[in-house]
Every structure is written in structure tokens, then in C-alpha cells.
Amino acid sequence: MKNLKNDLVFCAQLNEQFVPTKEIDNGKFVRNPERPSRLSLVNKFLKAHFQEISVLDFPESVLMLAHEESYVSYIKKKSLDLIEGEYIPEVFFVDPIFDTGTPIKHETYDAAFQSVQATLTGIEHTLKTKNVSYVLTRPPGHHAMKRYGG
């Protein structure tokens, strides 16, 4: 394979300390598929073929560019209040969450914020250099909206 080190850079934030154990699927508790091992082979490949850049530090205020402060505060407080175990959110207008597949753990807020920082690092690198950036991160944030998560 051609060495592509100069064609693409990547940054990774796997948040290996964040491992949800279960979710509710069709009314039953099942093993949550979201775990660091899902990305470890991709990370290994990227390290072998591309230049890795360090994740930059952004202020927490960047979260308010995508989310309402009440939602960010909810996730932060719920995460900090949980010392162990995980909380399966209630979806019937109790929690600002729309599914039961995203449990909240003590590490949730920090892991999500670190993922945002990695994503912003990739964006900033691409804007500055006009080169392609690839961001490998978890937990995935593709269910998060302005006022709700899932």
C-alpha cells in the first residue's frame, strides 16, 4: 500500500474509560454494542498509514454552539451525580433523551466533551491547511440534537 502520511491526518479520542454495558432494545435489556474495541482496529490502521495530530483543548462554551445550555447542564449534572453504574434515561418527557439506547455513566459528559474537542481539532486543521482530516472518536454523537440526546 502506498504511504499516504502526507495526504491525510487524523486524530483519535477513543475514551476507553467510557464503556456502557446495556441498553433497552424491544423492551429487553441487551448488551450495549458501543465500546472502544469497535474502533481499535481502525485506530491501528490509521496509526500505521497516516500522521496523527494531537487533540486541541477548546473551552466548554463551544458546546453551546450546538446545544442549549439546559441540555448540556443536564448531561453534566447527571454524569457527575452518578458515581457508579449507569442511568437508562426515561424517554416519556422525563429526561431530555429520546431513546433508551444511550445510557448515562459518570464518564459520559467528559467523554462526550473530549469527542467534541477531537472533532473541532479535525475541523480546525482542515480549515487551516485545506488538507483532509479524519476524526476517530467515541462515544458517537450522531443522536445528539439542540435540546435532546439519544
Considering the chain, what percentage of its residues have pLDDT values greater than 70? 95
d(C-alpha 42, C-alpha 83), whole Å: 31
What the chain holds in terms of domains, given with CATH numbers, is 8-137 (3.40.800.20)
User: Tens digit of pLDDT for each residue in 77-119?
Assistant: 999 999 999 998 887 778 898 877 788 999 999 999 999 999 9
- Has residue 4 got a pLDDT over 60? no
Average pLDDT over residues 122-147: 88
C-alpha cell at 146: 439542540
Interacting residues of 111 by C-beta distance below 8 A, sequence separation 6+: 15, 17, 18, 138, 139
d(C-alpha 111, C-alpha 117), whole Å: 10
What pLDDT is stored for residue 119 in this prediction?
92
Average pLDDT over residues 69-75: 96
Closest CA to 37 of 16, 11, 55: 16
Residue pair 52/11 in contact (Cβ under 8 Å)? The answer is yes
Closest CA to 143 of 110, 100, 95, 90: 100
- Has residue 12 got a pLDDT over 80? yes
Q: 3-state class of 116 per DSSP?
A: helix
What pLDDT is stored for residue 92 in this prediction?
74
What pLDDT is stored for residue 141 in this prediction?
73
C-alpha cell at 34: 458501543
